[in-house]
Amino acid sequence: MFDPEILQKSAAELSAKEIVARVSHTRAVNPGAILDALASRARRPLLGEKGSLFLVAADHPARGVSRVGEDAMAMADRGELLRRLVLSLERPGVDGLLGSPDIVEDLVLLGSLGGKVVVGSMNRGGLSGASFELDDRFTGYTAKSIAGSNLGGGKMLLRIADGEPETVRTIEACARAVGELAERGLMAMVEPFASRREDGLVKNIYEPEPMIRAVGISSALGETSAHTWLKLPVVGDMERVMAATTLPTLLLGGDLGPDAEETFSGWRKTMEIPQVRGLVAGRSLLYPRDGDVASAVDAAAAIVANRPEPARKATR
């Protein structure tokens, strides 16, 4: 039986099982509450006073990715994932969320997205490990639904693999989405990679020259780039990579690896580049090796907060 007392607790007070019970109950008995909560959610400008942006990412399961490090099913427990997201979103310096529709709606029902920047994940059809992985079809948010859900923008994955015909279809679909978001004055966050197949598996190429090429292609998508942002991995010689565009850019957090401080050092250095406005990080902060989510999120938030940019009036 459902315990109604669960509805009286704040999201931060709930256990993983209680979170699932509360959200599942609302979804079953009052699905209209989702649209109501989205419509009434307080929004804020993309950039804070220091001109930076720090988002926690949680769209991995929608592409069939649950692995974190050696744990292949780390993100498979939805209640535990939501518990960690609730904790992360309450930490100072966290501006918002990048998520798939189900995650966004779970969190808005929990009351965790008020006053936050929320970016919806759009193309999740290139399932990890599938023979069609590079066919990154749009199976999530559309520009219309992002606007209708009161979100701040949409994010799209663009893996550029010259030997794969799926690439040109994804480029075309991303260009269309960039234009449709721009028509509505919404951020279009493009996440490009240079990719190739090796032994049947898709591998991303973390080298400066291929990334520079991918940046140039992504920057030119759509009828206008006025609302386009990039989301880029940190690779070698990032100053040269970033010299390929004027678009505002967020760093992809990626795996912290065995030496988190080395990764943090790379983020700090890259934050000195003017185009770099902040960070989007997910698994590495939600499932840190030591299990201390709050400390991992706080460390990343401090790096973004200390980005060497003079304070300025927030802009949309």
Our measurement of the distance from residue 219's CA atom to the centroid of its chain's CA atoms, rounded to an integer in Å, reads 18
- Evaluate whether 235 touches 192 at the Cβ level (below 8 Å): no
pLDDT over threshold 60, residue 312: no
What is the percentage of the chain residues whose pLDDT exceeds 70?
97
Distance CA 211, CA 244 (A): 9
pLDDT at residue 309, as a whole number: 62
Q: How much is the pLDDT for 244?
A: 98
Region 191-207: what's the mean pLDDT? 95
Are 100 and 140 contacting, i.e. CB atoms less than 8 angstroms apart?
yes
**pLDDT-derived band at 314, boundaries 50, 70, 90:** very low
CA atoms within a 13 Å half-sphere pointing along the CA-CB vector of 53? 31
Q: What is the pLDDT of residues 23-53, one digit of tens each?
A: 999 999 999 999 999 999 999 999 988 899 9
Domains by residue range for the chain, with CATH: 12-40+50-305 (3.20.20.70)
Give the pLDDT score at 307.
92
Is the pLDDT reported for residue 208 higher than 90?
yes
Question: How far is Cα of residue 59 from the mean position of the Cα atoms in its chain?
Answer: 7
pLDDT of 62 strictly over 90:
yes
Taking only the tens place, the pLDDT of each residue in 211-245 is 999 999 999 999 999 999 999 999 999 999 999 99
The predicted structure's pLDDT at residue 33: 98
